[in-house]
Amino acid sequence: MPAERIEVPGATLHVEIEGQGRPVVLIHGFALDARMWSGVVPRLARSRLVVAYDVRGFGRSSVPTDAPYSHRADLAALLDAKGLERVDVVGHSVGAHQALEFALKSPTRVRSLALVAPSALGGIPFPPDVSRAFTAIKLAAKEESVEAAKAIWRRVGWFSEAVADARAARELDAIIETYSAFHWLHPNPFVALDPPPSERLDEIDVPTLVAIGERDLPYNHAVATRLVLGIRGARRVDLPGLGHMPPMEAPSTVSEVLDRFLLEIDRR
């Protein structure tokens, strides 16, 4: 995809844009970047303007400084820079949470939400093994090496289905290899939305799709259930045989699900 460097307050974002038509924005998950959508973009770009970007601190975007920031403000500034007023927003994992924050902060700018393998919703604790992995990762990054921390991260259950597929595993390794590890080595001055999305789901009033892999962690299934119950009219789609990384495990399946959802909204 054609790439741009877009300046937002306090950071430079790596942004890739392809296609023409109604704009759809893709937000990646933690320690990943826009490359996780590489198999999805071509299908969506047949009829849409697809914007995929590296969130601040990840991929080819700049890392945070000591100044407070928010991903919702970064996205608003990115859209302003490209002259985009209202968009469909697709978020994966913690990117789904960032999409929720943006929809609550800037409701007039969001036409729809698609939340893929959503994570990080308050009120639902991470599984004990994941929490232990987070602790071990930060310790390894600081006392051993970033490579040791990444090796632990790659073994977290969220990636079990992806690493079992040779193609997806290669793509995942390439992305994780270039992660800066900023969030494991430094305090993150990110400012969360207050009150958080978990307490404000009833305020979301746009068509919402929640897509979850059949083999994703029970934690993520609990998050998906909470979202569907809390967001008026939200629809859930279970993806057979897939884990936490559907856009990389089965990009054609995810492309079809997203395309169908967006086409339904187009026809309304």
Query: pLDDT tens across 81-95, in order?
Result: 999 999 999 999 999
Give me the number of domains the chain comprises.
Answer: 1
- Given pLDDT bands bounded at 50, 70 and 90, which one contains residue 2? confident
Residue 1: pLDDT band (50, 70, 90) is: low
Q: Residue 145: inside a domain, yes or no? A: no
Domain that holds residue 67: 3-124+188-267
- Asked if the structure places residue 168 within a domain, the reply is no
Q: Mean pLDDT check: name the lowest of 60-64, 109-113, 242-246, 264-268.
A: 264-268
Q: Is 170 among the domain residues?
A: no
> What average pLDDT does the chain have?
97
pLDDT digits (tens, 9 = 90+) for 138-157: 999 999 999 999 999 999 99
Whose tokens are 């890392």? That residue is: 63
Q: What pLDDT, on a 0 to 100 scale, did the predictor assign at position 7?
A: 97
Residue 28 lies in a domain: yes
In a domain, 130, yes or no: no
CATH number of the domain at 204, please: 3.40.50.1820
Is pLDDT at 189 greater than 90 in this prediction?
Answer: yes
The reply to whether 172 falls in a domain is no
pTM: 0.98
**pLDDT at 268 (0 to 100):** 83
- Average pLDDT, integer, range 222-249: 98
Is residue 16 in some structural domain?
A: yes
pLDDT in tens, 31-60: 999 999 999 999 999 999 999 999 999 999
Q: Measure the CA–CA gap between 74 and 56, rounded to whole angstroms.
A: 8
Quick: pLDDT tens for 152-174.
999 999 999 999 999 999 999 99
168: left (phi over 0), alpha (psi -120 to 50) or beta: alpha
Report yes or no on 97 lying in a domain: yes
pLDDT at 108 over 70: yes
Q: What pLDDT score was predicted for residue 102? A: 98
What digits encode the pLDDT tens for the residues 27-39?
999 999 999 999 9
Give mean pLDDT, residues 112-126: 97
